[in-house]
A and B are shown apart, each in its own frame.
Chain A
Amino acid sequence: MNMKPDIMVDERDVELLAAIEDGLPVCAYPYAEIGKLASMSEDEVISRLERMQDTGIIRRFGLVLQHHSLGYKANAMVVWNIPDDLVDEVALRIISHDFITLCYCRTRHAPVWPYNLYCMIHGCERRKVEQQIEMLKHNAGLAEFDSDTLFSVRRFKQRGARFSQTETQNPIVAT
């Protein structure tokens, strides 16, 4: 599942994503309400959302859960140092495991942070997540690569990505 940077959003799409970032209203005609916020018709809201979903800009559209309130408290980020030319192949082996919720390749920051491949596992029990990590290392042939596991300790903030302009108008601290 590669990113497709060639598929872009236009300004109106961004306005729509901003109008919907706090969630779809819970009422009979929610897309009409979103349309009022984004100054577009109900039909345009629906067709733009459909298009963004079809092109993969919207990965999924639906209920976004607070997984920790459902007992998913053992949240591990596992990081690996994988040679660049092997990343794609290794990532495919990793995501074939159904307990993987996210998998990304990121820029390294050597020497403090040599890792370039990340995956997330959200589980209810730490011991079980640790077993899944061991299974992953074994099944995906990852034992030979340097890795680290970072369980989350505390969540200070979590919310969806922002598209509204307010975030870009932070007061810049004069120095």
Chain B
Amino acid sequence: MQLTALEKKLVNQWQKGFPLARRPYAQIAESLQISEDEVFTTIKDLTDRGVLSRIGAVVRPNTAGASSLVAMQVPDKRLDEVAQIISEEPGVNHNYQRENKLNLWFVVTASDTRQLDQTLARIKDNTGCTPIKLPLKKAFHIDLGFSI
């Protein structure tokens, strides 16, 4: 996906420190020397092309409730089916196939540890595969955005 010079500027400058002011887009428009409407159009266009997921907060893990990375060994033949069951769980926010004997990796969030364990028990019942819970102990470095 190729970005225009304007899109690159927008993306590189505003992955963090997005203006916390009443009219944030007007502030961005001023800094890029374009109109607020052009900012809206550019953002909508980046969203439509799948470049931009959202404008929002990347929050410290376990800020509210409980979460864990979970690994599972799924027979190759059943991977699509099992991955779908897991993706349909509302508390799951990442779900990836990775190159390993433990081939399915996902993140489960819940309001507390008990709910988290209930979700994992349900996943085990619904898939017949055993989830391995790998909870966070300490974060050293968290997603600070990409330089495009």
Please pick, from A32, A77, A100, A167, the residue contacting B22 in the complex, using a CB distance under 8 A. A32
* Residue in A3, A49, A88, A149 whose Cβ sees the most chain B Cβ within 10 Å: A3
Interface presence of B23 (CB below 8 A): yes
A1-B139, A58-B57, A172-B122 given; A156·B97 CB < 8 A:
yes
A residues contacting the other copy or chain, number (CB 8 A): 87
- Cβ of A40 within 8 Å of any chain B Cβ, yes or no, is no
* Chain B residues closer than 8 Å to A86, beta-carbon distance: none
Asked if B90 contacts A107 (CB within 8 A), the reply is no
Residue numbers in A under 8 Å from B61 (CB-CB): 3, 161
Q: 1/0 contact trace for A8-50 toward B, CB 8 Å? A: 0100011001001111101111111000000000100010011
Candidate in B69, B87, B143 with the most chain A CB atoms within 10 angstroms: B143
Q: Which residues of B contact A17 (CB under 8 A)?
A: 57, 59, 63-64
Whether B25 contacts A26 by the Cβ 8 Å rule is yes
CB–CB A63/B10 < 8 A? yes
Which chain B residues lie closer than 8 Å to A95 at the CB level? 140-141
What is the CA–CA distance of A100 and B139 in the complex, to the nearest angstrom? 13
The reply to whether the CB of A142 lies closer than 8 angstroms to some CB of chain B is no
Contact A109:B96 (CB < 8 A) given known A3-B60, A61-B16, A62-B16: no
Contact partner of A63 (CB less than 8 A), chosen from B18, B118, B139, is: B18
Q: Does B5 contact A (CB under 8 A)?
A: no
Q: Hey, which chain B residues are within 8 Å of A154, CB to CB?
A: 83, 96-97
The answer to whether B90 touches A162 (Cβ under 8 A) is: yes
Q: Which residue of A lies closest to B116 (CB)?
A: A168
Residue of B whose beta carbon sits closest to that of A2: B138
A170-B122 CB under 8 A given contacts A57-B60, A62-B14, A63-B14? yes
What are 14 A-to-B residue pairs whose CB atoms are below 8 Å? A2-B138, A2-B140, A3-B60, A27-B40, A30-B24, A30-B25, A63-B14, A63-B145, A65-B11, A66-B52, A109-B133, A109-B134, A112-B132, A122-B146
